[in-house]
Structure 1
Amino acid sequence: MPAGRRLLVLDGTPGSWLPPGWEVLPQVGGGLDARLAAAFALAPPGAPALLVGMDTPQLAAAVLAQALSPAERPGVDAWFGPATDGGFWALGLARPSAELAHRLLAGVPMSEPTTGAAVLERLASAGLTVRQLPELTDVDTAEDGEQVARLAPDGRFAARWRELELPSGVTGTTGAAR
Structure 2
Amino acid sequence: MTTLMVIAKEPVPGRVKTRLTPPFTPEQAAVLAEAALADTLAAVAATPARRRLLVLDGAPGPWLPPGIDVVPQSAGGLDERLAAAFGRCDGPALLIGMDTPQVTPALLRSATKPGPDAWFGPAADGGFWALGLADPEPALLRGVPMSTACTGRAQRDRLVAAGLTVRDLPLLRDVDTAADAAYVAARAPGTRFAAALAHCAAAGAR
Q: Aligned partner of 2:182: which letter? A: E
Match of 1:28 in 2: 74
Match of 2:26 in 1: none
Tell me, yes or no, if structure 1 residue 50 matches structure 2 residue 94: yes
Deviation at 1:142, TM superposition (A): 1.3
Match of 1:133 in 2: 169
Among 28, 31, 54, which residue is 1:8 paired with?
54
Match of 2:104 in 1: 60
- Looking at structure 1, the residues matched to 202 and 142 of structure 2 have their Cα atoms a distance apart, in angstroms, of 37
- Looking at structure 2, the residues matched to 9 and 28 of structure 1 have their Cα atoms a distance apart, in angstroms, of 9
Q: Aligned partner of 2:110: which letter? A: Q
Give TM-score, length-normalised by structure 2. 0.74
Query: Residue deviations 1:29-83, cap 9 Å, x none?
Result: 111100000000111x2x21000011100001111223423xxx13x10000000
Which ranges of structure 2 fall in alignment gaps of 5 or more residues? 1-46
Match of 1:77 in 2: 117
Identical counterparts, % of pairs:
61
Q: Aligned partner of 1:123: which letter? A: L
Q: Aligned partner of 1:62: which letter? A: A
Contact 2:74 2:84 in 1 (8 A): yes
Number of residue-to-residue matches in the alignment: 157
Tell me, yes or no, if structure 1 residue 93 matches structure 2 residue 133: yes
Say if 1:166 and 1:136 are closer, same or farther in 2 by CA, change over 3 A.
farther
Deviation at 1:106, TM superposition (A): 1.3
- Looking at structure 2, the residues matched to 32 and 67 of structure 1 have their Cα atoms a distance apart, in angstroms, of 22
Among 135, 142, 160, which residue is 1:106 paired with?
142
Contact 2:94 2:112 in 1 (8 A): no
Among 153, 157, 170, which residue is 1:121 paired with?
157
- Looking at structure 1, the residues matched to 177 and 86 of structure 2 have their Cα atoms a distance apart, in angstroms, of 27
Tell me, yes or no, if structure 1 residue 158 matches structure 2 residue 194: yes
- Looking at structure 2, the residues matched to 133 and 83 of structure 1 have their Cα atoms a distance apart, in angstroms, of 10
Contact 2:111 2:132 in 1 (8 A): no
- Looking at structure 1, the residues matched to 125 and 202 of structure 2 have their Cα atoms a distance apart, in angstroms, of 22
Contact 2:141 2:155 in 1 (8 A): yes
Deviation at 1:166, TM superposition (A): 6.6
Query: Residue deviations 1:86-122, cap 9 Å, x none?
Result: 10000000011xxx222x2112111111000000110
Over aligned residues, Cα RMSD in angstroms?
Answer: 1.3
Among 56, 59, 63, which residue is 1:17 paired with?
63
- Greater helix share, structure number: 2
- SS class of match (1:122): helix
Which ranges of structure 1 fall in alignment gaps of 5 or more residues? 168-178
Moved more, 136-145 or 58-67: 58-67
Give TM-score, length-normalised by structure 1. 0.85
- Looking at structure 2, the residues matched to 6 and 52 of structure 1 have their Cα atoms a distance apart, in angstroms, of 11
